[in-house]
Amino acid sequence: MTKTPTEAPPDADARRQVVPVICYPNDTLHVPPLDQYRAARDTAQATDHTRIPPRQARCFHVTAGSFFRITCPDGAQVGDLNLFAARNLDERFFSGKTRALHGSHVGIGNRLWSCLPYLRPMATITEDTLSWYGQDEFGGRVHDVIGTRCDPYTHHLLTGQDYHNTCHSNLTRALAAEMGMPLTEAEGHIHDVLNVFMCTGFTRDTGQYFMKTSPARAGDYIEFFAEIDLLGVLSACPGGDCGAEHSSDAATCHPLEVTVYAPKAGQLDGWYAPSYNRYSRRHAPE
């Protein structure tokens, strides 16, 4: 379905030629101390391991000051990641503002931000074996914060069919099991994701969201430093490498793995978990 254009005004070209400005210049953001994180990581040992079966999701916990690594152990597999503050499900990952601050795809040094009114870093990306990918000739990049998540409602809207292993439903089932809450309650907490290992962009002609086969191979990983205590939920997308389709059992799917690493005591001296955003919350002048 294409958009219907209206007749252009006489100064259309002049209006189009206005030079854009960045919405959120981010050079005033606190720069994460990656060298300190890496030095701490060098001392860290694995403390927990979670395997996510294909077309399923699982929860995992990470203590502030620890690291978690998401790996494709067997082959290219897209993962849909939700993050919560461990003791407050109201504070959740804010994919839209993360996109506004860091761009459509995230990489080393970028933060994953929590929703309003908290708006603080939940995690910092410290390693990414796909950082070499950059941008391809189609405008595709890896690890996006634009794709929301595959869900059964959009699938039904477009096909009239029910499919129960979309990432939205996988995340819902995993959170319900973890929290001991009904599916309908858990569903309300599921939010837009970070698409790990997914290669996506927007078409230049129609501006439509596209995906293409993930460049990941067995052993590729992305690693994060947990800035606060986290509850993570990760779905192994039914789209597999997302090279053809999602929201069905047609694609080849692989598992994902999450490994938590805790550094030795004393390695993070001077570092402290970020506090909530300091806006006054008055929402009106005095």
Could you give the CA distance from residue 80 to residue 78 in angstroms, rounded to a whole number? 7
Instruction: Tell me, residue by residue from 208 to 237, as one string, x for binding to Zn ion by CB under 5 A and - for no binding.
Output: -----------------------------x
CB of 183 to Zn ion, least distance (A): 18
Instruction: Tell me, residue by residue from 54 to 93, as one string, x for binding to Zn ion by CB under 5 A and - for no binding.
Output: --------------------------x-------------
Q: Find the angle CA(94)-CA(111)-CA(71) to the nearest 5 degrees.
A: 95
* 167 binds Zn ion, rule: CB under 5 A: yes
Question: Among 12-20, 24-32, 142-150, 174-182, which window interacts with Zn ion (CB under 5 A)?
Answer: 142-150
CB of 245 to Zn ion, least distance (A): 11
* 150 binds Zn ion, rule: CB under 5 A: yes
Measured from the CB atom, the residue of 121 and 238 that comes closer to Zn ion is 238
End-to-end, the C-alpha distance of the chain in Å comes to 49
Could you give the CA distance from residue 194 to residue 93 in angstroms, rounded to a whole number? 9
Neighbours of 197 (CB within 10 A): 26
Measured from the CB atom, the residue of 65 and 239 that comes closer to Zn ion is 239
* 193 binds Zn ion, rule: CB under 5 A: no
CB of 94 to Zn ion, least distance (A): 19
CB of 166 to Zn ion, least distance (A): 6
Measured from the CB atom, the residue of 80 and 223 that comes closer to Zn ion is 80
Measured from the CB atom, the residue of 230 and 253 that comes closer to Zn ion is 253
Question: Among 89-97, 128-136, 143-151, 259-267, which window interacts with Zn ion (CB under 5 A)?
Answer: 143-151
Measured from the CB atom, the residue of 167 and 256 that comes closer to Zn ion is 167
Question: Among 2-10, 28-36, 83-91, 160-168, which window interacts with Zn ion (CB under 5 A)?
Answer: 160-168
* 253 binds Zn ion, rule: CB under 5 A: no
Measured from the CB atom, the residue of 151 and 257 that comes closer to Zn ion is 151
Output the DSSP codes for the chain: -PPPPPPPPTTHHHHHTSPP--SS--TTSPPP-HHHHHHHHHT-EEEEEEEE-TT-EEEEEE-TT-EEEEE-SSS---EEEEEEETTEEEEEB-HHHHHHHH-SB--TT-EEEBPTTT--EEEEEEEETTTT----TTS-EEEESS-----HHHHHHHHS---S-SHHHHHHHHHHHHHT--HHHHHTT----EEEEEEEEE-TTT--EEEE-----TT-EEEEEESS-EEEEEEE-TTTT-SS--SSS-S----EEEEEEEPPTTTTTT--PPPPP------S--
Measured from the CB atom, the residue of 64 and 211 that comes closer to Zn ion is 211
Measured from the CB atom, the residue of 150 and 226 that comes closer to Zn ion is 150
Number of residues near Zn ion (by CB under 5 A): 4
- Residues in the chain, total: 286
Q: Which residues bind Zn ion (CB under 5 A)?
A: 80, 150, 167, 237
